[in-house]
Structure formats: structure tokens, C-alpha cells
Amino acid sequence: MSTDTPSLDILLVEDEPAIADTLIYSLRAAGLVVHHVSTLAQARTHLINVIPSLVVLDLGLPDGSGLDLCREIRRASEVPILMLTAKSDEVDRIVGLELGADDYVTKPFSPREVGLRIKTILRRAQTSAVTVVSAKAFVIDGDRASFAGTWLDLTRRELHLLQRLLSTPGRIYSRDALLDLVWGQDAESMERTVDTHIKTLRAKLRSVDPTHDVIVTHRGLGYSLQLPER
């Protein structure tokens, strides 16, 4: 991570001392302020008093699953979340992304990899506060979006995905292209990640207006967004 990264608060929730110590050293060397806790209870106490710039969250903790904390955080805020998972826990990774986590890394990983992921997530979070954009039935206003006059309850990834599809209505984006544009080239994600987010985004749009399926699946090609005629 470059040395010009601004000083930001990172909450690290990790119960393995060796992993925690290595990450703390690496992230602090990169100019980040790191607060470390090792249990869900400690994390909840910390979050009552401090809203961090980003949460690095291990999913396997001694007093429960990090997925529970991910869900709680998303109910209250859009603070970015980077999950730490075991290599075999694909289901947990998918559930975490569905709950609103921004990205994940699998163990074992290098501290430099985590640093790069954090840099990418923070950069995208800082640039997501765009000006008001209106496209027929859609309005994007900073970190929120509306469809057919109703504000949508979107995760950060769903919002970024909608913004990308809205940028060029009718264009077919392949899964690889969406992974690159929404998750970033250095994000360890899968085509299934795109499918999962498309599914949840489509469901939220259809809950507002079931008469229009604005996200179109092009079998073998990818996805596009068709603006409703209004």
C-alpha cells in the first residue's frame, strides 16, 4: 500500500494471535490505525463507540460466526467489510457477500494482499459518493438509489453493480467484465459472486415493480439493464 494513503481506522476482528500480529504490523506500517479485538462481544462493544473506516472480519470466532456481526453491521451502516475465511468455506463466503460484505480473502494469505484489498475497497467507497444521476425510473444519489419512486435497500456491491449497468443501458456486460469493474482486478471473486448479486438486485427491483424485469440475462454472454418505457 502506498505511503500516501490517509490515516484511517481499521477494526480487525481476528482470534488467531499469529495472524492478528502480522496484520497489525503490516497495516500500521502502511499508515493505518488498527484496533484489534478477538471476539464478537469485543467487536460489538467497540462498534458502539467507534465507527471504523473498514472492518477486517474473521468468520470463525470463538463466540460465534462473523456472519452474524456482518449482518448486524449492515443493519446499521455501510462501513466496508473485508472477510477472512478458510479456503474450504465457499458457502460462508457467498453468504457473507449476500449480507453485504465488500470482499474476502482466504487463508493463508499475505499481509500485502490484505493491504491491497483494503486500499481497493476504501478507494471505491470514497469514490462512490457521486452526484445525483437520473435515468428514467432510476435515481442514484450518493450512496443510495431509487427505482420507480421507491428508495432501495441495497448493499454497497448491489449499488455499484446497479451504477455500472445504468452507465450504459442495453450494453451486455460479461461476468468477467462486471467482476473487474465492480469488484476490482485484484479482488478474489468468482463468476458465481456476480450471479448472486444480480439475483438479489433483481429481486429488490421486482419487489418495487414486478411488471418490469429491467435486468436481462443473456445466456452465455452476461447481463444488461433495459430502462422501462415511462
> What DSSP letter does each residue of 64-93 carry, written as one string?
EEHHHHHHHHHHH----EEEEEETT-HHHH
Torsions phi, psi of 10, nearest 5?
-115, 130
| pLDDT reported for residue 229 | 63
Top CATH class, 129-225: mainly alpha
- Give the whole-angstrom CA distance, residue 137 versus residue 31: 43
Half-sphere CA count of 132, side-chain side, radius 13 A:
4
Q: What is the pLDDT of residue 188?
A: 55
| Same fold flag, 9-126 and 129-225 | no
Residue 10 in contact with residue 53, Cβ under 8 Å? yes
CB 183 within 8 A of CB 136: no
pLDDT at 198: 93
Residue 4 has a CB neighbour count (10 Å cut-off) of 6
Report the pLDDT value the prediction gives residue 130, as an integer from 0 to 100.
Answer: 42
Q: Nine-digit cell at 24?
A: 497489525
Nearest to 14 by CA among 26, 29, 1: 26
161 near 208, Cβ under 8 Å? no
Digit-by-digit pLDDT tens for the chain (230 residues) are 333 434 578 999 999 999 999 999 999 988 889 999 999 999 999 988 788 889 999 999 999 999 999 988 887 777 889 999 887 777 888 888 888 888 888 888 889 889 888 988 887 766 554 434 445 688 887 778 889 889 999 888 888 899 888 877 888 888 888 887 787 654 555 667 888 899 999 999 999 988 888 899 998 889 998 887 65
pLDDT of the residue at 133: 46
Using a cut of 0.85, tell me whether the model's pTM lies above it.
no
Domain 9-126, what fold? Rossmann fold (3.40.50)
**pLDDT for res 186:** 45
The residue ranges of every structural domain in the chain are 9-126, 129-225
C-alpha cell at 60: 470463525
